[in-house]
Amino acid sequence: MTEKQIKEASVLTKAEDTNIRKQFRLLVENSPRLKKKADREMVEKAFNLAFLAHKDMRRRSGEPYICHPLAVARIVSEEIGLGALSISCSLLHDVVEDTDYTLEDIEHLFGEKMARIIDGLTKISGAFSEQSSSQAENFRKILLTLSDDMRVILIKLADRLHNMRTLDAMPTEKQLKIASETIYIYAPLAHRLGLYKIKTELEDLSMKYRHPEIYEEIANKIRLNEKRRIAEINRFSLPIIQKLEENNIRFDINGRPKSIYSIWKKMQTKNVSFEEVYDLIAIRIVFDPKPRVSEKAMCWMIYSLITDIYLPKPDRLRDWVSKPKENGYEALHATVMSHEGKWVEVQIRSRRMDEIAERGYAAHWKYKGINSQESGLDTWLKRIREMLDNPNKNALEFLDDFKLNLFSSEILVFTPKGHIKSLPKNASALDFAYEIHTEIGNHAIGAKVNHKLVPLSYKLSSGDQVEILTSDKQRPQVEWLQFVITAKAKVSIKNALKSEKNNRIKIGKEKLDRTLRALKITPNAYVFRKLMNAYETLTKDELYSKIGLGLIELNNIEAILKKKSQNKLVRYWSLQFLKSINKSSPKKKQEDSGTVGNKKKPILLRENLDKEDSEYVIANCCKPIPGDPVVGYLDNQLDTIIIHKANCPNIIRLASKHGDRIIPVRWTTHKVKSFLSRIKIQGIDRMGILNEITTIISKQLDVNIRSVNVDVLDGIFEATIDLYVHDTIHLNNLILKLAKIKGVDSVNREEYTGE
């Protein structure tokens, strides 16, 4: 394609054409990785094609469209540090989506690798343009490129950064949508990839459009204080410069204000005003290592020289030199008191550390091999790939779990052998177990943290040493999903529960088929309808699952099939009502609940075997268990039914005010879920009686004890025991057994109101 052809095709003004040529020249001249002739020729070929493809296109701002891919290419080259292939892909990233050129054309002209990257970029552009589920599914597909070529994500971040820089031309509603996407996914992604400069700018620009008034207020305060701040930086830096020069250290030093977004976040979390944010400025020292002196040693040497001048704040020392962040970030951060009485943050980095901090993933690969250990970034990418490899994963679920992997706060904990593991803040002992190995997590029963026994839900802190206790009999529980926070743990638990469910269904189906064959009954729609009505199940899978668990005995099938159908509407209204809870509007929900109530058809409180959340919740005030007389209350705010005991004072009060929200309900079989209950035992104290009580509870009746409180006075003991039971039958059976123990005078169920 000749220059003459391009000029004939263009509808640009002379000034626009000159400016575009200038921008392209600057791109080539300022690219540190365009030294080879072949690389420059590839980039020029890509520019010529993009120039021609976008010749009649303009952006909403009115400027020629080609200015956008040029700007993206400059960010990719100068701010991220990628090479010729990435620069070329940046120039062509919108060609397939917005023009008549196809992926086949790109592959024919530039090869398969570039076509694959362009394909990823074309897919990613639609990730947030449709409804939420489609957005999530598209985003999941895009991240599959992590297994293939990380450059897709890096170029997309550059594309998003330039779009944010030029967002003024968009209408307000578009600005808000794009800014929200940016803060939700793109800024955390930039942070995780170590692109701190880009992450900070994305956060600030997002805030500019999401909270324009607050943004302008903070920006104005920073501008008003600019001269004074520069003077403070100079006064603060001068003694440090002199000290470093005396010690023959080659360095660069610069001061900068904190970002607007980080100042605002600190104001929010600390609940302070702008003036009360104490470390508004930060000094960065970037040094060249001395021969035969390690970077780590030099960081601490410089820290020592600075603290000879200024008093440090001990609780604000951040050592990411000894143990870098998971995204590869290395630096030593200290906060010291200036002679003017103000706290100043000082960041100390080597030249290599600075390049990784500024250019993140690209620089990480440049230095790969210097350190033989696997980096945190490698580990993170491995986790993402594990998530992507799960074929059963729901798209929205994936997006939530992916967000879990974008934590900015991390803790460092130790294995019993002293190996360090990095986890997100607020991670539990069970998260740690799954981090070690999926099988260890699946069979975990407890943990020892710093040699002290703790439950799996225990929240870990930096510096904890953790040992996981396991049992071959243990299996993952639905309740675990309430306190694990890492994506790996959540995915592993969900996979185990799904596998267990499929196994139950298979066993249940085989049992039912054998029983029907023995009775010479042909399975058909009529048979299943009768069985599902009799056993209060809504689907075949639920029927099979309950059979597989042993919740349903099949010795009365003939009697069920001979019995006339009754209350067919019960199951129908149960299903319809529960659907309405999840899907309808508040007004519609209220109408539906009234319909059910008027027909006096009770809602079945079925055991939810396979979901992490249920269609109803148990009231904390009275803690009913299956078998108790109960009433349902439709809570429009929580979008669910709250189950109270029929004699609960709260439900009596609610019924007097909101009678239309009272729902008749009744229990079905509950044998998997456990409910917290409390019993009180009184009797004559004797040696070994408590051991006998707990043995019957935990070993003979297989009941989990949560807590035991015993009080003995003048030979009379009184024990209060909190334990988990399935239903009132289970609890009554337990009470009868305990009442037979020698010395026990009375066993009664108590109202449980604790958490």
Strands 630-635 and 640-645: antiparallel
CB 347 within 8 A of CB 285: yes
> 499-504, long-range: CB within 8 Å, 24+ apart, which pairs?
500/475, 500/476, 501/545, 501/609, 501/610, 503/548, 504/544, 504/545, 504/548, 504/549, 504/609
Read out DSSP for 297-346?
HHHHHHHHHHHHHSEE-GGG-EETTTS--TT----EEEEEE-TTS-EEEE
**Tokens encoding 429:** 């002992």
Closest-CA residue to 287 (of 356, 239, 351): 351
Q: Tell me how far the alpha carbon of residue 656 is from its chain's centroid.
A: 42
CB 747 within 8 A of CB 738: yes
**Tokens encoding 62:** 């009115």
Active site residue 541: no
Alpha-carbon distance of 596 to 157, in angstroms, equals 52
Pick the catalytic residue from 16, 44, 63, 98.
98
Angle at 635 between CA 632 and CA 640, to 5 degrees: 75
What kind and span of H or E run contains 169? none
> 520-525, long-range: CB within 8 Å, 24+ apart, which pairs?
521/557, 521/561
**Tokens encoding 130:** 């449709």
Closest-CA residue to 77 (of 24, 21, 117): 24
- DSSP-derived 3-state class of residue 719: strand
CB 210 within 8 A of CB 183: yes
**Nearest 5°: phi and psi at 710?**
-120, 135
What kind and span of H or E run contains 651? helix 649-657
How many other CB atoms are found less than 10 A from the CB of residue 536? 21
Contacts of 93 (CB under 8 A, 6+ apart): 69, 72, 118, 121, 122, 155, 159
The strands making up 466-470's β-sheet, listed across from edge to edge, are 452-454, 444-449, 466-470
Tally of residues, the chain: 755
Alpha-carbon distance of 526 to 503, in angstroms, equals 26
Active site residue 98: yes
Give the per-residue SS3 of 598-620: HHCCCEEECCCCCCCCCCEEECC
Pick the catalytic residue from 97, 104, 513, 639.
97
CB 145 within 8 A of CB 153: yes
> Tokens 């803690």 sit at which residue?
623
Alpha-carbon distance of 244 to 593, in angstroms, equals 75
* β-bridge partners, 256: 282
Q: Which are the catalytic amino acids? A: 97-98
